[in-house]
Amino acid sequence: MSKIIAAILTLGISLIAVAGGNPEHVQLPQDYKSEYTNYDTRTRSNGKQVAVLYANKAAIDSASDSSLAEGSTIIMEIYKKKMDENGKAMMDANGLFEKGKFAAIAVMEKRANWDAGFDAAHRSGDWGFAIYNTDGTVKENKLDCASCHVPLSSQDHLFSHSSLLDFIKK
């Protein structure tokens, strides 16, 4: 019996280790497409993907403060670039890459009252992370999500903080 429990624990831990972020703590909001606001669409800094960024109401309402309110959630839909028959990336009228295949959905959620079992080393400030497949299942991914976002404490850990502010000012 204890062997079975040990095996289950090992499996559980290895699943957590390969998931991008902490999907056991950070869920994908099912209604984000209808309930959230699309505040920016941009080429990702890796030059290979397109990001479509959404913020929930708590994030929109609080973004102009020095930091976003607890309860804020930001979603980044990740698309591949659309290629023409010559393998060249296609551009739209605004000079943005056209969206190709929908690849993944990244979630950042800000909370003060995270479960004690959620290791703060996996968070950036009060933000937790998780990445999902486009069908809403957990995406396996070894990225240490927090690592890149941690240095951005002056903009509440968000790369797109200034675009969110610009969007709200309009």
Residues interacting with ligand HEC, by CB under 6 A?
20-21, 44-45, 51, 53, 74, 76, 106-108, 129-131, 141, 143, 145, 147-149, 158-160
Q: Tell me which long-range contacts 80-83 makes (C-beta under 8 A, separation of at least 24).
A: 80/48, 80/49, 80/50, 81/48, 81/49, 81/50
Distance CA 138, CA 131 (A): 7
CB of 139 to ligand HEC, least distance (A): 8
Nearer to ligand HEC, 6 or 92 (CB): 92
How far apart are the C-alpha atoms of 118 and 146, rounded to whole Å? 13
CB of 168 to ligand HEC, least distance (A): 15
> Which of 6, 148 has the CB closer to ligand HEC?
148
- The nearest distance, CB 85 to ligand HEC, in angstroms, is 27
In terms of CB distance, is 63 or 158 closer to ligand HEC? 158
Q: Determine contact, residues 92/52, Cβ cutoff 8 Å.
A: no
